Amino acid sequence: MDAEAMVDAEVGGDRPGRPPIPGSRWVLFWVLALGGAAFDLTTKALVFDRVGPPGSPAVSVIGEVVELRTSYNTGALWGIGGDLAFGSMMFAGLSIVAALFILYWLFVAGHAADRWQAATLGLIMAGAIGNCYDRLRFGHVRDFVHVHVDSIGFDFPIFNFADNMLVLGAVGLMLLALRGEPSPSATVEGA
| Given the residues 40, 114, 134, 163, the one annotated as active site | 163
d(CA 143, CA 131) in angstroms, rounded, equals: 10
Reference 27, options 14, 15, 42, 11; nearest CA is 11
- 163 given a catalytic annotation: yes
- 143 given a catalytic annotation: yes
Burial of 154 (0-12, 13-18, 19+ CB in 10 A): exposed
Cβ(40)–Cβ(163) below 8 Å = no
| Given the residues 40, 114, 134, 143, the one annotated as active site | 143
Which residues carry out catalysis? 143, 163
